[in-house]
Amino acid sequence: MKLIGSMTEQYYREQLIKSNRSLFHDHSMKRLLGIIQQAFPEMKTAYILGIIPDQGEDIYTILMNNDFIAYIELERYNLETEPIIETKPVKDYKRGLSRIGQIQLVVAMDLAERN
């Protein structure tokens, strides 16, 4: 899929830039950033593709360095609980994505490449 400069692409570009800035500069994301840096010391850039708030935890889907997707499950109330971290190659993540999901991923990969 190629980028064409559509309104949808622009929307995701803005959202992904905000999420990236938030991850690296917002105090509320300090815990997540620390976990990412510890688990993936080679991390140069990360774009949050999605957050699923569950009953007692939050599940983050993150594009890491344009190399792979990381799923990080963080306990919301008990900060001592170890996070659950899983990874998946981008090509496997891409399989089965909706068109909108594919657009979001391509925009995130473009941003990561430019970083």
Q: Residues 25-44: pLDDT tens digits?
A: 999 999 999 999 999 999 99
Domain count across the chain:
1
Q: Is residue 1 part of a domain?
A: no
1 pLDDT higher than 80: no
DSSP state of 28: G
**Residue 20, in any domain of the structure:** yes
Give the domain extent around 69: 7-114
In this prediction the pTM is 0.92
Contacts of 32 (CB under 8 A, 6+ apart): 23, 60, 72, 74
Q: Is residue 2 part of a domain?
A: no
3-class SS shares of the chain: helix, strand, coil, % to 5: 45, 25, 30
Are the C-beta atoms of residues 71 and 86 closer than 8 Å to each other? yes
